[in-house]
């Protein structure tokens, strides 16, 4: 299973081709739209989220509500294109933390606009569209990918202990249900209110916020991925997929960095049948799924476009000036979590197809 996206943030639209989906998976445009809505909404998103409706066109690969085994092409027009058509707004002072500077030098542009257009997280709409198909395949095997936000800036959610979140299916499912009720996708609804206030304060100051989310894959069979080669390790593939999302700066599995402080006898999960008593490894040992919940945590940095900008340099005059300012989001951690679900689903579906083979499902 592989996919590529195309499109610029303020261009005509965003598209993707998903290749390798087996035939016979039930899909619907309504469900796909609902999935895209989950990514678009959220407290802290900017005005753009109200302009776009992420109406998605399935241009190929589906017939009578089922996948055909042929490449699936999805197209998401940008409503905002009408407002940008024929205009060119140069970005002359690279935004610290953004791809602006390095991209401009790399491709030899004389301003950063072309970089910003493609580096933009608008592209993640297409990833979520592809992820929907992967989720539908996983659903046939009762594998479910869920996520929730655990931290925005300095505010952490009060959640059941990490041990329980990682090893108990019911706990993960409940957290996901609660997250779906929160404007920030945070299962602690009281913390959600404090996080919203923090976002309001950041917005007023012209600042932005990042945070941490968790992704859990429930119902995973033993044996996805492999220890035999570096690029077949499931955790390596999942880490790359999550790390590829705009703004992500850290990814860990299970207890992650926490494991480094423990002695071996505390760190590892004893083997008992039918179920292990703990899941500190986060569902993967030696690059292979071990049948427990796959548990991933990722950190997102604050969005680089600041309304009260940091110092930068004018790329034409080389004089010091403030970084470029334009409309943007204040916080998009909840959206990033939905994108991460999609990326994780794509890797899991790929690994499942490798293990089982798959012309049809
Ligand atoms: C983005 C900046 C904002 C976001 C955009 C990603 O767009 P604009 O600059 O047009 O206000 O809203 O995200 C989306 C449009 C989306 O659908 O997620 C950026 O620079 O990454």
Atom of ligand 1 nearest to the CA of 335: 18
Closest CA to ligand 1's atom 21: 120
- At how many degrees (to 10) do helices 234-243 and 333-356 cross? 150
First to last CA, the chain: 14
Domains and CATH numbers, the chain: 2-356 (3.60.150.10)
Residue 124 is encoded by which pair of tokens?
């993640």
Annotated binding residue 302: yes
Residue nearest to ligand 1 atom 12, measured at CA: 48
Q: Does residue 78's CB lie within 6 angstroms of at least one atom of ligand 1?
A: no
Q: Which of 120, 305, 325 to mutate to test the pocket of ligand 1 (most atoms within 8 A of CB)?
A: 120
Whether residue 190 has a cis bond before it, omega within 30° of 0: no
Query: Quick check: CB of 336 below 6 Å from ligand 1?
Result: no
DSSP string, 2-69: EEEEEE-TTSSEEEEEEE-PPEEEE--HHHHHHHHHHHH--TT--THHHH-----EEEESEETTEEES
Query: Please, how many CA atoms are within 13 Å of residue 326, restricted to the half-sphere of its CB?
Result: 16
CA distance 28 to 40: 19
pTM over 0.90: yes
Task: List residues bridging with 321 in a β-sheet.
Answer: 312
pLDDT tens track, the chain, 361 positions = 999 999 999 999 999 999 999 999 999 999 999 999 999 989 999 999 899 999 999 999 999 999 999 999 999 999 999 999 999 999 999 999 999 999 999 999 999 999 999 999 999 999 999 999 999 999 999 999 999 999 999 999 999 999 999 999 999 999 999 999 999 999 999 999 999 999 999 999 999 999 999 999 999 999 999 999 999 999 999 999 999 999 999 999 999 999 999 999 999 999 999 889 999 999 999 999 999 999 999 999 999 999 999 999 999 999 999 999 999 999 999 999 999 999 999 999 999 999 998 899 9
CA 121 to centroid of ligand 1, rounded, Å: 6
Q: Is the CB of 50 under 6 A from ligand 1?
A: no
pLDDT at 355: 95
- Angle, vertex CA 277, rays to CA 255 and CA 233, nearest 5: 50
Using DSSP, state whether 83 is helix, strand or coil. Answer: helix
């Amino acid at each position: 299973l592989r996919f590529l996206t195309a499109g610029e943030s303020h261009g005509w639209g965003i598209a993707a081709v998903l290749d390798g989906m087996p035939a016979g998976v039930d899909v619907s445009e309504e469900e796909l739209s609902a999935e895209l809505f989950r990514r678009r909404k959220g407290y802290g998103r900017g005005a753009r989220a109200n302009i776009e409706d992420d109406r998605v066109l399935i241009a190929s690969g589906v017939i009578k509500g089922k996948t055909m085994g042929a490449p699936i092409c999805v197209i998401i027009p940008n409503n905002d294109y009408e407002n940008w058509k024929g205009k060119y707004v140069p970005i002359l002072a690279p935004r610290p933390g953004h791809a602006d500077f390095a991209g401009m030098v790399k491709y030899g542009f004389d301003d950063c606009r072309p970089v910003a257009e493609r580096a933009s997280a608008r592209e993640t709409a297409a990833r979520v569209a592809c992820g929907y198909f992967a989720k539908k395949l996983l659903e046939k095997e009762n594998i479910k990918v869920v996520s929730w936000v655990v931290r925005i800036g300095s505010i952490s959610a009060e959640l059941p202990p990490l041990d329980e979140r990682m090893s108990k299916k019911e706990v993960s499912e409940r957290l996901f249900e609660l997250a779906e009720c929160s404007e920030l996708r945070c299962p602690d609804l009281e913390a959600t209110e404090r996080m919203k206030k923090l976002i309001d304060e950041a917005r007023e100051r012209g600042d932005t916020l990042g945070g941490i989310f968790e992704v859990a894959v429930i119902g995973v069979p033993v044996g996805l991925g492999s220890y035999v080669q570096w690029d077949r390790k499931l955790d390596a593939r999942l880490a790359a997929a999550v790390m590829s999302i705009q703004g992500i700066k850290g990814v860990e599995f299970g207890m992650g960095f926490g494991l480094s402080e423990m002695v071996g006898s505390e760190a590892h999960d004893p083997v008992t049948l039918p179920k292990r008593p703990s899941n500190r490894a986060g569902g993967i040992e030696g690059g292979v799924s071990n049948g427990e919940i796959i548990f991933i945590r990722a950190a997102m940095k604050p969005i680089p476009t600041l309304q009260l900008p940091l110092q930068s340099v004018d790329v034409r005059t080389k004089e010091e000036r403030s970084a470029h300012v334009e409309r943007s989001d204040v916080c998009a951690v909840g959206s990033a979590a939905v994108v991460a679900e999609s990326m994780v689903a794509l890797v899991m579906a790929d690994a499942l197809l490798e293990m089982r083979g798959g012309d049809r499902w």
